[in-house]
Structure 1
Amino acid sequence: MNVESGTLMRLGDSDQTLADPADDIRGCTVLDRDGNEIGEVDDLLIDPEHRKVRLLRVEHGGLLGIGATPLFLPVETVERVTDEAVGIDRSRAQVAAAPGYAPELVDRDKDLANLYGYYGYTPYWAAGYLPSSRGFFS
Structure 2
Amino acid sequence: MLNDQLVISNVAGPFREPREPVFSYDYSIQRATWAATHAVRVKIALAEELDYVKTKLLGTVTGSPGQQLMLNKLLSRKIGDEKLRIAEAEGWLKDRADVLVPPFTGPLAHHFPQLDAWVQTEQEALRAEIKQTIGLGA
TM-score by length of 1: 0.30
TM-score w.r.t. length of structure 2:
0.30
User: Going by fraction, where is strand more abundant, 1 or 2?
Assistant: 1
Larger radius of gyration: 2
Greater share of residues in helix:
2
